[in-house]
Amino acid sequence: MADLLLYDTTLRDGTQGEGVSLSVEDKLRVLKRLDKLGIHYAEGGWPGSNPKDIEFFKRAVDLELKQLRLTAFGSTRRANLAVEDDPNLKAILDSGVKAAAIFGKTWDLHVKEALRTTLEENLRMIADSIRYLKSHGLEVIYDAEHFFDGYKANPEFALETVREAAKAGADFISLCDTCGGTMPWEVEELVLKLKEELAVPLAIHAHNDSGLAVANSLAAVRAGAVQVQGTINGYGERTGNADLCVIIPNLMLKMGYKVISEEQLSTLTQASRYVQELANQSPDPRQPYVGASAFAHKGGIHVSAILKHPQTYEHVQPEQVGNRRRVLVSELAGISNIIYKAREFNLELDRTSPITKEIVSQIKELEHKGYQFEGADGSFELLLRKALKQISPLFVLEGFRLITEKREDNGEPISEATIKLRVGDQQVHTAAEGDGPVNAMDKALRKALESFYPQLKEIKLSDYKVRVIDEKSGTAAKVRVLIQTKDGKRTWGTVGVSTNIIEASWRALVDSLEYGLLLPARQENQDK
């Protein structure tokens, strides 16, 4: 049995975050992934509040979950309404769940101004609702909303609300830092106080408005809380909830708690990215533990040290959370960076070799011109293999021309690319139209090469980014173009730099196709 229980509210509180939305199918898939990760409780939403959640609970209760307990969310009964007549509580019972989380007011401001009722009636609302759900056989988690703010405003009333919840039979009392403004030492002090007074197990529900949701959750655990509530990737209202992807490894690897298995912990990064994809959210590369930059090393001294012993600059092993070590190549890179990076591509470089020194010099020169290889492993590997004379260019460009014309005042511009190149001893001259000059150039190049390389049909451009490097130069500024490409098995990045956006795009595009065609044996995703 776990030392601590994990309570996930991604499907409810997480979807209240700006830009986060999950379909019923998405929610069901996330639920199954949470079960696989080892989460103990998952809050599915408000039964009866909207058609999406109604359908979700109808389908979710029939899922075969290994250990996860599906939980319905709702509020205490309405003021001056019989508990058996409350539609919210009835919807919870009708949902078919075996556990419910209901929130009640602990801050007298909310009781008087939001509910417009008396403090005495609010206490009855808490007790009645818990007893009612318990009488129908449900496990009940009572969410003491605004507990810490309520305690600061009126300590005795805030305490009385959780005492009523305990007397009514709540299985857990969750202390909510709803506005996210509480300090860790305040959390620890109040949890210690309640642990002495109440026999009911305590939980913590922290929001991140002060950037302290994780710290407050860990402080609560130190003080005796046995259930931690949060969301995957910290999704949630305003600045988000406590991030379970940070809390779980901290509990296990730093504080020594048994929460999930080590095997489940090793899937944490995968779970994080799975939810990101379904929620259509851009990943945060700097997210602790699971972010792409969490174990990324750039400084030459750092890389030299981790080559000797990873612990010199890594607080845990990336494999423990399913992440991986990355070495970045930049103007800060030394020979150690290049050697480490080469090993990722199964290339062995001699530290004392003139070729290695030449590669380092070339990279630094390219970076000075505006190149960055941090998101362009494809271009970097091509550079290495060409320097080692392992591969040769696919073709020789003899010239290209781009024409963009606007035929009507309200019409969209049309771009046409004409390309002349040589493949071996054959000359190819072709043209294609596209939605913009880069698209036209991509189509023309593929048209010219597909008869020689039919596998090009599997290679698709998936992302295109442009960044102005020296903005003060105005229209003469250099631009850096980063292209992401995939073939169904791999994803790779390539880069091009020039004062001409077409030239920069051409260089990134050529690298993109050359990587996909010249290095087909590399199956892993280098840039993910």
- Pick the more confident residue, 413 or 308: 413
pLDDT value for 304: 66
Would you state the structure tokens that stand for residue 436, as one six-digit string?
């913009």
Most confident of 241-250, 360-369, 480-489: 241-250
Percent of the chain at pLDDT exceeding 90? 62
Separation of CA 6 from chain center: 19
Q: Which amino acid is at 10?
A: T
Cα angle: 353, vertex 358, 361; to 5 degrees:
135
Contacts with 274 (C-beta within 8 Å, 6 or more apart), sequence order: 30, 33
Contacts with 24 (C-beta within 8 Å, 6 or more apart), sequence order: 52, 55, 56, 59
Q: Is residue 313 part of a domain?
A: no
**Distances in whole angstroms, Cα of residue 412 to Cα of each of 418, 434, 435:** 20, 11, 9
Please write the tens of the pLDDT for every residue from 420-478: 999 999 999 999 998 888 899 999 999 999 999 998 889 998 888 888 876 555 556 78
Most confident of 183-197, 352-366, 458-472, 485-499: 183-197
Please write the tens of the pLDDT for every residue from 340-377: 778 878 888 887 888 888 888 887 788 778 887 767 88
Boundaries of domain holding 425: 402-446
Please write the tens of the pLDDT for every residue from 398-430: 999 999 888 777 778 889 999 999 999 999 999
DSSP-derived letter for residue 207 is B
Whether the pLDDT of residue 248 is over 50: the answer is yes
Q: Of the residues 244, 260, 276, which one is the last residue of a structural domain?
A: 260
Q: Is residue 468 part of a domain?
A: yes
Q: Of the residues 228, 260, 292, which one is the last residue of a structural domain?
A: 260
User: Domain check: are 501 and 409 in the same one?
Assistant: no
Q: Is residue 96 part of a domain?
A: yes
User: Domain check: are 231 and 359 in the same one?
Assistant: no
User: Domain check: are 437 and 476 in the same one?
Assistant: no
Q: Is residue 486 part of a domain?
A: yes
pLDDT value for 127: 97
CB distance 511 to 384 below 8 Å: no
Would you state the structure tokens that stand for residue 149, as one six-digit string?
């703010």
User: Domain check: are 496 and 406 in the same one?
Assistant: no
How many of the other CB atoms lie within 10 Å of CB of 228? 28
Residue 525: which pLDDT band, with cuts at 50, 70 and 90? very low
Write out the H or E segment, with its range, that includes residue 180: none
pLDDT value for 261: 95
Residue 524: which pLDDT band, with cuts at 50, 70 and 90? very low
Query: If DSSP codes are grouped into helix, strand and coil, which group holds residue 424?
Result: coil
pLDDT value for 406: 80
Whether the pLDDT of residue 17 is over 50: the answer is yes
Q: Is residue 120 part of a domain?
A: yes
- Residue 502's domain is classified under what CATH number? 3.30.160.340
User: Domain check: are 30 and 145 in the same one?
Assistant: yes
Number of domains present in the structure of the chain: 3
User: Domain check: are 128 and 237 in the same one?
Assistant: yes
User: Domain check: are 406 and 390 in the same one?
Assistant: no
